């Protein structure tokens, strides 16, 4: 099984993937329910963390804070700490990404 970092590297560096369809839910202390979501175009990858562009500037997020990753609305990574809760955390990811049938 790929780690969240390796999986994201694959999406970012393989031209077969569209990073616009990637969503990352992560632990964000102080946010509603202590989690937030970022879209692929707002994310840059660093060796030890994601850099997420927000309205207030850039926010570094360590990879261990990633909860769920979806691609085209399908869950492709679920942190073992939240195993079985991806649907609850990500909600209906197909509606969020606008890529549903």
Which pTM does this prediction carry? 0.82
Interval 27-65: pLDDT, tens: 888 888 788 899 999 999 999 999 999 888 999 999 999
Q: How far apart are CA 62 and CA 60, in angstroms?
A: 7
Q: Domain residues for 16?
A: 4-97
Query: Looking up tokens 């202390």, which residue turns up?
Result: 29
How many domains is the chain built from? Answer: 1
In this model, does residue 12 exceed pLDDT 70? Answer: yes
Interval 58-93: pLDDT, tens: 999 999 999 999 998 888 888 877 776 666 667 654
Token pair belonging to 30 = 């102080």
Report pLDDT for 21: 94
Token pair belonging to 60 = 């570094």
- 3-class DSSP state for residue 8? helix
Burial of 71 from C-beta contacts in 10 A (0-12 / 13-18 / 19+): buried
Report pLDDT for 27: 87
What is the domain-level CATH number for residue 70?
Answer: 2.30.30
């Amino acid at each position: 099984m790929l780690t969240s970092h390796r999986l994201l590297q694959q999406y970012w560096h393989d031209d077969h993937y569209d990073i616009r369809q990637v969503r990352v839910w992560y632990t964000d202390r102080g946010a509603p329910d202590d989690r937030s979501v970022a879209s692929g175009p707002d994310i840059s990858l660093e060796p030890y963390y994601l850099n997420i562009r927000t309205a207030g500037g850039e926010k570094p997020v360590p990879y261990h804070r990633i909860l769920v990753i979806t691609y085209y609305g399908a869950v492709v990574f679920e942190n073992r700490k939240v195993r079985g809760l991806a649907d609850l955390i990500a909600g209906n990811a197909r509606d969020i990404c606008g890529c549903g049938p």
